[in-house]
Amino acid sequence: MSGPRTPIGPGEGGTRQTDGNRPLVELSHVEKHYGSLHVLKDINLHVDTGEVLVVVGPSGSGKSTMCRTINRLESIDSGVIRIDGEPLPQEGKELARLRAEVGMVFQSFNLFANKTILENMTLAPMKVRHMSRKDADDMAMDLLARVGVESQASKMPSQLSGGQQQRVAIARALAMQPKIMLFDEPTSALDPEMVNEVLDVMIELANEGMTMICVTHEMGFARKAADRVVFMADGRILEEGRPDDFFEHPKTKRAQDFLSKILTR
């Protein structure tokens, strides 16, 4: 991935300076129910600027829900979520602004099917960031080059492979110059041969200092790129540690069972 680079360092594009002493993302005593189902139980978590956090845990443990509360796709019942020191607002302009600081990439590619790759890239920067078409196009082409798909710019999403679409989804999120990127199992819907091309982009982002929360069971990625691993089960964070410590010496029975299953798969 060569060529001119659009800087994506944490805090760039925002108007406020990041205070190095406080966490960029902070969840404090967060609780959430879906009806009678208690899905997040006293979640306390902080992610510092530049930190890469990997979240693992069995299906249904609340990993996606936790991610979705961080950019307020889901509301919480109680507790506080702060981004760069500011509590997440409930709605309105402030919410839109804070949400623009959090990029999210999902398992399914979520590109607009009836728009070209370039249009997918430039829509939000022009609408939300009020960029001119020329600036948005230039930035989009830069970012597409960085993830290795600049030659696809005029195609429709359905004409791209899953791995290419997911790289566009990452580039599209980066086009908003987010302070943090959330990834929810970004490679789990991909054919095996396309997994690495997406993980390589994520590793490069991590190496460049992007703050990242990644729900993924890709151990190789976790070991290469993560500063910390969080293990969730039944809506709680049960363990937290350095990747090598966690994968080699899980403390709880729950984590041991979980790891023995995914490591032998």
Ligand X SMILES: Nc1ncnc2c1ncn2[C@@H]1O[C@H](COP(=O)(O)OP(=O)(O)OP(=O)(O)O)[C@@H](O)[C@H]1O
Q: Rule CB under 6 A: which residues touch ligand X?
A: 34, 37, 39, 57, 59-65
Which of Mg ion, ligand X, none does 103 bind, CB closer than 5 to 8 A by kind?
A: none
Helix (H) or strand (E) segment spanning residue 101: none
- Site track 72-111 with Mg ion (rule: CB under 5 A), x = hit: ----------------------------------------
Q: What's the one-letter identity of residue 101?
A: E
Helix (H) or strand (E) holding 127: helix 117-127
Say if strands 78-83 and 86-87 run parallel, antiparallel, or are unpaired. antiparallel
User: Who's near 21: CB < 8 A, 6+ residues apart?
Assistant: none
Point out which residues pair with 215 in neighbouring strands. 55, 184
Locate tokens 């196009």: which residue? 137
Question: Rounded to a whole number, what is the distance in angstroms from the first to the last CA of the chain?
Answer: 32
Question: Cβ 64 to Mg ion, closest distance in Å?
Answer: 3
Residue closer to ligand X, measured from CB, 4 or 35: 35
* Both structure tokens of 163: 């791995």
DSSP state at residue 79: E
Give the span between the Cα atoms of 87 and 98, in whole angstroms: 10
CB of 1 to ligand X, least distance (A): 30
Judged by beta carbon distances under 5 to 8 A according to partner kind, the member of ligand X, Mg ion, none in contact with residue 9 is: none
CA distance 42 to 135: 43
CB of 56 to ligand X, least distance (A): 9
Q: Please report how close the Cβ of residue 162 comes to Mg ion at its closest, in angstroms.
A: 18
Query: Which range, of 5-13, 15-23, 59-67, 166-174, touches Mg ion by CB under 5 A?
Result: 59-67
122 binds, among Mg ion, ligand X, none (CB under 5 to 8 A by kind): none
Asked whether position 164 contacts Mg ion by CB under 5 A, the answer is no
Using alpha carbons only, how large is the chain's radius of gyration in Å? 18
Using the minimum distance from each CB to ligand X, give the nearer residue, 153 or 238.
238
Q: Considering CB distances under 5 to 8 angstroms, the limit depending on partner class, which of ligand X, Mg ion, none binds residue 165?
A: none
Distance of closest approach, residue 96 Cβ to ligand X, in angstroms: 22
In the bound state with Mg ion, the residue whose beta carbon lies nearer, of 136 and 190, is 190
Q: Please choose, from the candidates 32, 52, 29, the residue with its C-alpha nearest in 3D space to the C-alpha of residue 40.
A: 32
DSSP annotation of 44 reads: E
Rank residues 8 and 53 by Cβ distance to Mg ion and give the closer one: 53
Q: Report what 62 binds from Mg ion, ligand X, none; CB cut-off 5-8 Å by kind.
A: ligand X
Q: Does 64 bind Mg ion (CB under 5 A)?
A: yes
- Residues at the interface with Mg ion (CB under 5 A): 64
